[in-house]
Structure 1
Amino acid sequence: MSRDDARSEVYAAELSATAGTSLEVARTLDELRAAATRITHSPWWPGVDVAVVAARADAHSSRARYREGRIEVRFAAGQKDMATLIHEMAHALAGLDAAHGALFRRAHIDIASAAVGAQAATWVERAYRAARLDIAERCWPQPSAVGGRDEHGRFVV
């Protein structure tokens, strides 16, 4: 069994939680950097600094990696959205060794809450539970939820 054997299940649950929501609306790198900074400068954030950068032009997927004392989140073309930021920031919070396991899933829920609010966190948590994926206990301070809804009930950042 691989160290990241739940990856495809996590991706499927994440898609069911965010498909068609404002979390998939394209953002600029500056908007994504600002959102990452809001999270990492919150009093509850226990992790390392996070840098948001563009991936190489030929990159097909976004990723988080440890580089020079911080987590670097690289955004591939076509993936510059809040759903991707939340996913990659969850790797930064849980630690890259957590892969897509139960601790990552806890971090994913918490980052969704911190980034855009409790409703998005509920969507992610419900999707994981519907997929029968375990969610670890939180081992960092509880984040405070932010964000709100516009006049159409859509999340705004």
Structure 2
Amino acid sequence: MRMRARSVAVAAMATMAMGLAAPMATASEFDRQQQKETTQAVEALQASDQAPDVVEEGLDERLSQLPPDRTLEDVVKAMYPGDEAAQQAVLNKLTGMSTAGFWDQTWKYTKCAAYVSLLFVPGAKAYRAIKALGGVAETARLLIGAGNAADFLEIAGGVGSQIIGAGGIAKNCF
């Protein structure tokens, strides 16, 4: 019996030495390293005054594929496809911090685009208004550029009223 245990131990050590057991250890180490890098990237983004750039190309299409009962997390994932660090940093900023003076123009645009994106449900009046104004990115730029609801309505015309009255737009875009 003692000889068998020793043989098993020798076989296990030989397997590790030959690299046959390495993939499991490497995968675990890779996951830890990836988690560490993501955490560092999130912390760097949160500390910076610059928001990550929204991936505008295909944004409207990605948003139109989201369910009508979309969450802010769904929207942020569509805004930053495949960039987990940016998604987490933006979600943390959108949900965790609301101090005045915190948002520079880039973060303000990101915040506004996220809330405009929540309205981007195909078939809804707000959806048609957003599309008429050139999509989510352009609508967010117009809202921020206008500075207040009255000026936005002047710029956007009749379609603007479908957007201005929606929950969170005035609070998050002006």
TM-score if structure 1 supplies the norm length? 0.30
Which structure is larger by alpha-carbon Rg, 1 or 2? 2
Please state which structure has a larger fraction of its residues in strand: 1
Greater RCO between the two (CA within 8 Å, min separation 6)?
1
